Structure 1
């Protein structure tokens, strides 16, 4: 079984995570030919002193990574998970998932952007966080995960490009998503945080690979 507890052990430190998420957004915007189909986005002005990386696969699954002076909060939602508020009788967040979120980071979870109309709780099946000054990622310590699913909280597929950040894995994802070849050297260039050049943009763009 793959859960948030396995995922958090593979998350990088916040600085590396931020750079990686920015790179994924750049790659998605450059490889794709229509912004409305991009799954990854990065908002440098999410709120006062806040930045947010968002992923929405267009099929009902999404995650957010919000960076603030108080720390980083990661929220994910798997719409097919038995842990979804929509799957519980009282439409509440699954016990233990967010109970231990520190008070300093709770406003990031309660952002209206992460609630659906008519749902009085955050849209979340998986959550992890890291307060400023902490040295490890943390998640709920007493979550009773439902059985019968390899990734009951959705962390296995929601965060696969965050737990495996290799250029090969990132390229494979975008090749599958856009159904065309993507040059590995260009992916490496962007993931390394190097400035986008006309040559790299042309190589990644829809007309870059025949």
Structure 2
């Protein structure tokens, strides 16, 4: 899957936001020392930011702005990496067509690395739009932008896929029923915490969860 397929399978913004929060909350409960998913309400005035990093330099971010949603991903080993040449350069067409209301985000220092917006995938959806859009990027057969694996969990959103991904990362079994409850928006209670992370204290987890 590349970005052209990604725009057809992304959920609507409200569903996407809820899924991003649930994934961040799940990482809080699972209690890893380096959680992959984060959610920052009020990252900017009226703007939320969801992120995922895998610890190897690959990441994605989703900016929820009243003007729309801006989603980007970076696969450092794919064909579309800006590091394929020096100075770094985006894959042709990556940001072409980005609406003015969202066009300032690639220039936000917090979304840049060493003064450059490292991205191999970019997608957006204005507040009044009925579908997701991307730039006119072109890939030869076999070329990739990393969209398929970067956004697999976010686009699927099923408890089975989320659990499999978490088990691979945390290297321990993850209860499907508890994860399904979190994905459905159920409050995190003592039972959920004890099932997903028996060594965690409920109060500590609940305190951290309030910030998601």
TM-score by length of 1: 0.91
CA-CA distance at 1:89 after TM superposition: 4.1
Contact 1:32/1:178 (<8 A) preserved? no
What is the match of residue 126 of structure 1?
121
Instruction: Compute the displacement of 1:90 (Å).
Output: 3.9
* 1:192 pairs with 2:184: yes
RMSD in angstroms over aligned alpha carbons?
1.4
Q: Tell me the equivalent position of 2:112.
A: 115
- Partner of residue 97 from structure 1, selected from 86, 94, 117: 94
Partner of residue 137, structure 1: 132
1:106 counterpart SS class: coil
State how many pairs are aligned.
200
Shift of 1:147: 3.8
SS at match of 2:90: coil
1:38, distance to aligned residue in structure 2 (A): 0.5
Q: Residue 33 of structure 1 contacts residue 205 of structure 1 at CA under 8 Å; is this kept in 2? A: no
The answer to whether the aligner puts 1:85 opposite 2:82 as a matched pair is yes
Q: Which runs of structure 2 are paired with 1:1-210 in the superposition (5 Å)?
A: 2-34=1-33, 37-117=34-114, 119=115, 121-140=116-135, 142-149=136-143, 152-207=144-199
Q: Do the aligned partners of 1:82 and 1:88 also contact (CA within 8 Å) in 2?
A: no
Q: State the distance in 1 between where 2:166 and 2:12 align.
A: 24
How many angstroms apart in 1 are the aligned matches of 2:58 and 2:20? 17
TM-score, length-scaled by structure 2 = 0.90
